[in-house]
Structure 1
Amino acid sequence: MSPAKPLGLRLTLHSVPPKQGLRWIALGWQVFRRAPLALSSTLAMFLVAAMVLSLLGTVGALLGLAALPLLSLAYMLCTHQVLQKRPVSWQVFSQPFRLTPARSRAQLALALTYVVATVAVIAAAAAIDGGRFEELQRLMAEAGQSEEARKAAEEALTAALTDSSLLWATLVRMGGLLLVSIPFWYAPALVHWGGQGALQALFSSTLGLWRNRSAFVLNGLGWLGILMASSLLLAVLTTLLGGPGLLALLVMPVTLLMLSVFYCGLYFMFVDSFRFVADEGSSEPTPPQQPD
């Protein structure tokens, strides 16, 4: 006699009006205000870990890249905990691997697929520009070390503006990474809460974003406006109060704050795009719900 099918969660797609894209930003900020230190330290811990991994060379860089899909799920879990008035725990990074072996394998498959897809995009862009983008990045990073380095960076930037291959490579890099992000946007959460396999989760994520594409476009425009306003405000403050030194001091905390709010908003994007109903007696993790 075959074993009974385990009780789980039933999933349905849901559509939202375009204006919901702006509300996702507001909801992300509301959650962040409830636990700013815990939420920002979660992101800071991940960034520090990624920097440490990068010191290990190519292998470390690939491991850090593989962890990026997990970061979005970790923040959804953090937001879920805050809404349930539970303390935020760094164990959110291991929680997706403590459910079932099948879901752990699916999360690992997503991580590997994300690395392969991202590396493929970067390799294609590098083939177009012959590696000049990486060289430009290096020169810009070294621009502050000496007058000669500053002049070399300025010359390289001027040359880049007239280099058509670099322009096409940049478009391929940005457009390719954007396309890669679409199927992975919700995929880890769909594996965790929905019990979907890796391929099914990638498909469902793409479908969820497409159905609410207008809201996502408005959300992106909202964040673009916030980024531009923040940059202008920082430029004014540094000009009036302290010059470049103050700018370097403020950029990191402001960036950390905005990224944390953005990642908090992912939870609301998810619960607006999908509806989960737990079967009676289910042993699945508590399904995400719309906040009151």
Structure 2
Amino acid sequence: MEKLPANAGWLWVKEGFALFRKQPAEMSTLFLAYMFLMLALGIVPLLGQILPMVLIPVFSMAFMQACTQIEKGKKVYPNLLLTGFRSPAFPSLLKLGVLYLVAAVAAVAASALIDGGVFWQVMSSDQALDRDTIRNSNMSLAMLFSAAVYTPAAMAFWYAAPLIFWQKMGVGKAVFYSFFAVKRSGKAFIVYGLSWLLIGVLMPAMVSSLIAMLVAKAFVVMLVLLPLSLMLTVIMYCSFYPTYTSVFGHPETTGAAIPE
């Protein structure tokens, strides 16, 4: 596992843009197909609320594999969404997805220590809470607390799926390696996160505000903001791949064991 300098975080973002530029339509189509499947899973009775979360590691490998296809100069097709399902690693990816769900539930539940359960009700209930209840609570602080509680889990999950898929690791070993790989390159991940906060959140907000001042029509703002947000989301997905290859190497060159 390589220990990376802080500027590696910005390089990951640039590499994500570079991968997207090679096949923008194909990667966008793959992402739209993924979103459609997530919406379809969401309407499944009883399981609709948990299936999308549990299947995140399975579907994440579709985008990782798509990036390897781009590197090889091969076309990306929507059937790559089945990559994780067809792999012998599928049961392990599914177990990882269950851990995703447990960690997310635990993090949201922990927010009750700050706001008395308001954030939990917002996330788990189909009924909207009244504005006064939300306004009088510490929900913003509770959300930050949940994010802090979830951070160690996010570190453990970041590389876990590709390590299971490409390195043929067990779930426990993959989670272990992922956590310490992220910890070793913590500065790079801070830069990476701040870069995407600037590009993926602040920039669209500034663009929409500027258009609103110039045109003052909501549909025009949405006409620009939706494609921009879609494109940036797909690029962010593309940037996940270089975060892996810069630490563990390319899938073609990685073996069953990782040097200590």
Task: Give the TM-score normalised by structure 1.
Answer: 0.77
Aligned pair partner of 2:76 in 74, 79, 88 = 88
Match of 1:34 in 2: 22
- Shift, 1:131, TM fit: 4.7
Aligned pair partner of 2:222 in 217, 229, 248 = 248
Q: How many positions carry a matched residue from both structures?
A: 251
In structure 1, what residue type is equivalent to 2:90? S
- Shift, 1:57, TM fit: 4.6
Match of 2:149 in 1: 176
- Specify whether residues 187 and 160 from structure 1 end up closer, same or farther in structure 2 by C-alpha distance, changes over 3 A only: same
Aligned pair partner of 1:22 in 1, 7, 10 = 10
Match of 1:271 in 2: 245
Alignment RMSD (CA, Å): 2.6
* 1:48 and 2:21 matched: no
* 1:125 and 2:125 matched: no
Q: Which structure exhibits the higher relative contact order, with contacts defined as CA atoms closer than 8 Å and separated by 6 or more residues?
A: 1
Match of 1:115 in 2: 101
Bigger shift: 231-240 or 66-75? 66-75
In structure 2, what residue type is equivalent to 1:169? A
Decide whether the 8 Å contact of 1:208 with 1:274 is kept in 2: no
Does the residue aligned with 1:94 lie in a helix, a strand or coil?
helix
Structure 2 CA distance for aligned equivalents of residues 169 and 58 of structure 1: 27
- Specify whether residues 126 and 43 from structure 1 end up closer, same or farther in structure 2 by C-alpha distance, changes over 3 A only: farther
In structure 1, what residue type is equivalent to 2:193? G
In structure 1, what residue type is equivalent to 2:9? G
Structure 1 CA distance for aligned equivalents of residues 39 and 148 of structure 2: 25
Query: Where do 5+ consecutive residues of structure 2 fail to align?
Result: 255-260
Decide whether the 8 Å contact of 1:53 with 1:64 is kept in 2: yes
Structure 2 CA distance for aligned equivalents of residues 18 and 66 of structure 1: 32
Query: Where do 5+ consecutive residues of structure 1 fail to align?
Result: 1-12, 143-151, 277-284
Structure 2 CA distance for aligned equivalents of residues 245 and 82 of structure 1: 35
Match of 1:206 in 2: 179
Q: Compare CA radii of gyration and give the structure with the larger one.
A: 1
- Specify whether residues 287 and 115 from structure 1 end up closer, same or farther in structure 2 by C-alpha distance, changes over 3 A only: farther
In structure 2, what residue type is equivalent to 1:104? F
Does the residue aligned with 2:5 lie in a helix, a strand or coil?
coil
